[in-house]
């Protein structure tokens, strides 16, 4: 089963846009960081983009805080280093965990999906131009436009 043309277009252009955003973030974050920090009575979390990676930290407190106040804020930092993370950053955290995702990975995955959708769209347009069945590529020359394909049985799209 082939994806619908609208889905192909969405994957094509969405994948390219996501890749451009990831590359822009890689270029903008070697010495800068943006994120959200949230702390509750029992733990603290941060989700930030820094050094060309998305980092998620969770720290659990050994003793609950005396107040039940939740505190959330957004932040932007300037970092002393000017490096980009190209691979996972292993770090053992004593009272929690940390997950890193270098931004080139989602950029590459979205570009691969966009390239695959682009190829499918190119094949579909070529088949339509050559009067071929959009599903199997059978030559429909001499057939009525509304008749089903004799090879696969798919109905031709109405023009």
| Chain-centroid distance, C-alpha 129 | 32
- Cα–Cα distance, 73 to 114 (Å, whole number): 35
Report the range of poorest mean pLDDT among 62-71, 77-86, 123-132, 137-146.
62-71
Confidence class for position 119, pLDDT limits 50, 70, 90: very high
- Cα–Cα distance, 95 to 51 (Å, whole number): 24
Give the Cβ contact number of residue 159 at 10 Å. 6
Share of the chain above pLDDT 90, in %: 25
Judged on CB neighbours under 10 Å (0-12, 13-18, 19+), 141 is exposed
Give the pLDDT confidence of 55-95 residue by residue, as tens digits.
Answer: 888 888 777 766 667 778 888 878 777 788 888 876 766 78
Label residues 89-124 b or e (16+ Cβ within 10 Å = b): eeeeeeeeeeebebbbebbeebbebbeebbebbeeb
As a whole number of angstroms, the longest Cα–Cα distance in the chain is 82
Identify whether the C-beta of residue 41 lies closer than 8 Å to the C-beta of residue 68.
yes
| In the predicted structure, residue 20 carries a pLDDT above the cut 90 | yes
| In the predicted structure, residue 130 carries a pLDDT above the cut 50 | yes
Give the pLDDT confidence of 39-55 residue by residue, as tens digits.
Answer: 888 888 889 998 889 98
The residues spanned by each domain of the chain are: 25-129
Give the Cβ contact number of residue 64 at 10 Å. 11
Confidence class for position 141, pLDDT limits 50, 70, 90: confident
Average pLDDT, the chain: 83
- Cα–Cα distance, 41 to 61 (Å, whole number): 8
Q: Give the Cα-Cα-Cα angle 39, 82, 106 (nearest 5 degrees).
A: 65
């Amino acid at each position: 089963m082939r994806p619908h043309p609208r889905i192909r277009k969405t994957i094509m252009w969405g994948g390219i846009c996501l890749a451009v955003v990831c590359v822009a973030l890689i270029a903008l974050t070697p010495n800068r960081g943006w994120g959200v920090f949230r702390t509750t009575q029992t733990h603290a979390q941060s989700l930030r983009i820094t050094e060309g990676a998305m980092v998620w930290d969770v720290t659990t407190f050994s003793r609950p805080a005396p107040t039940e106040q939740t505190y959330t804020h957004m932040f932007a930092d300037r970092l002393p280093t000017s490096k980009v993370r190209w691979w996972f950053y292993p770090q053992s955290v004593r009272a929690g965990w940390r997950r890193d995702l270098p931004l080139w990975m989602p950029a590459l995955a979205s570009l691969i999906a966009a390239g695959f959708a682009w190829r499918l769209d190119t094949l579909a347009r070529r088949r339509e131009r050559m009067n071929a069945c959009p599903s199997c590529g059978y030559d429909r020359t001499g057939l009525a436009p509304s008749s089903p394909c004799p090879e696969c049985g798919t109905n031709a799209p109405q023009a």
